[in-house]
Amino acid sequence: MRSSVATARRAGAHRKPGPLRRPAALAERVEQAHVLDPVVRRLSDGVVRALPTGPRADALHGVPFGQPAHPALVRLPLGCWMSAVLLDLIPGTGRASRILIGAGLASTVPTAATGLADWSALHTDQQRVGLVHAACQGSAAALFLGSLAVRAGRPGYGRLLSGLGLAVATAGSYLGGHLALRLGAGASHAEPVSHLSGLGWHDLCGIGELPDRRPVRRQLGYLSLLVYRQGPEVSVLSDRCSHLGGPLHQGRIVVERGGACIACPWHGSTFLVADGTVVHGPATARQPAFETRVTADGRVELKPRP
């Protein structure tokens, strides 16, 4: 009996992925497509040079909105184009279709700008998927542009190009979903501190064990913490950067907005150490922070901030 189960498992292990699994397998192959790396490197370096840390980059990342701007914007071209293709099925709606295609093309500008900004601060496997996603969406835009150009003289050909454009955009959107949902681009990577730390105050260490004005890492159960002492004041953040999980205790201390901030060593996201507020992206989610107090006998205690 046991051997027949093992045989069945082995057979399952070698079974080809079913039709519904194939897109995911294809996307996983794109993750490992090292052949894309020279383009990824050159383009990424160019974007980083053109977009230094500051208000412009922060706006493109979505820092003022508290979440990445790109996922919200991608709905505009896709929604317009899908509506245009549906209207193409209804006689007498040619003008409305043209307006929707034009609106979709116009909305690709902010969509692409925000996407490029986010893409430039990802891991290489994520960037490979992002590059193919962008190539699909760029091709879709070119097909819709062609559709718009030929509609006056050859409406049937224009409708065909729109249909093709929507198909390519849908394939690109699948890769965008893989990037966001499977590879976690855009999601917060900070630890769920309130679930992991338990209720109430926790003893951390003696205040004399903490160096002055130098970030250090301390452990509280499963949680890695960034601890920063300035004289009698102790600030504590989750150590895992909300952008992609970088180790914040290895970052630089800078002063912005009148307070000490920690700049992540991986992509430079900057957080106020006092409460985890995002000062600069690419992170958009606040870094989980802790309330602290020092007891009469010099012990540092902490609990998650609500």
SS3 track for the chain = CHHHHHHHHHHHHCCCCCCCCHHHHHHHHHHCCHHHHHHHHHHHHHHHHHCCCCHHHHHHHCHHHCCCCHHHHCHHHHHHHHHHHHHCCCCCCHHHHHHHHHHHHHHHHHHHHHHHHHHCCCCHHHHHHHHHHHHHHHHHHHHHHHHHHHCCCCHHHHHHHHHHHHHHHHHHHHHHHHHHHHCCCCCCCCCCHHHHHCCCCEEEEEHHHCCECCCEEEEECCEEEEEEEECCEEEEEECECCCCCCEHHHCEEEEECCEEEEECCCCCCEEECCCCCEEECCCCCCCCEEEEEECCCCEEEEEECC
Distance of closest approach, residue 64 Cβ to ligand FES, in angstroms: 17
Q: Which is nearer to ligand FES, 10 or 217 (CB)?
A: 217
Tokens representing 18 are 């079913």
Among 215, 246, 276, 304, binds ligand FES (CB under 6 A): 246
Name the segment binding ligand FES (CB under 6 A); options: 10-18, 39-47, 205-213, 243-251.
243-251
Using CB under 6 A as the binding rule, the residues of this chain from 215 to 234 that contact ligand FES are none
Distance of closest approach, residue 48 Cβ to ligand FES, in angstroms: 12
* Cβ count within 10 A of residue 39: 13
Name the segment binding ligand FES (CB under 6 A); options: 34-42, 151-159, 222-230, 261-269.
261-269
Q: Which is nearer to ligand FES, 144 or 266 (CB)?
A: 266
Distance of closest approach, residue 233 Cβ to ligand FES, in angstroms: 24
Among 63, 129, 262, 264, binds ligand FES (CB under 6 A): 264
Among 267, 280, 286, 303, binds ligand FES (CB under 6 A): 267
Q: Which is nearer to ligand FES, 65 or 201 (CB)?
A: 65
Distance of closest approach, residue 282 Cβ to ligand FES, in angstroms: 6
Please tell me whether residue 237 binds ligand FES under the rule CB under 6 A: no
Please tell me whether residue 273 binds ligand FES under the rule CB under 6 A: no
Please tell me whether residue 244 binds ligand FES under the rule CB under 6 A: yes
Please tell me whether residue 283 binds ligand FES under the rule CB under 6 A: yes
Q: Are 131 and 35 in contact (CB under 8 A)?
A: no
Using CB under 6 A as the binding rule, the residues of this chain from 106 to 125 that contact ligand FES are 121
Distance of closest approach, residue 254 Cβ to ligand FES, in angstroms: 14
Going from the C-alpha of 42 to that of each of 123, 135, 229, the distances in angstroms are 14, 15, 40
Binding residues with ligand FES: total (CB under 6 A): 13
Name the segment binding ligand FES (CB under 6 A); options: 10-18, 111-119, 224-232, 266-274.
266-274
Distance of closest approach, residue 247 Cβ to ligand FES, in angstroms: 9
Name which of 198, 193, 171, 212 is nearest 286 in CA terms: 193
Please tell me whether residue 168 binds ligand FES under the rule CB under 6 A: no
Q: Which residues contact ligand FES by CB under 6 A?
A: 121, 241, 243-246, 264, 266-269, 282-283
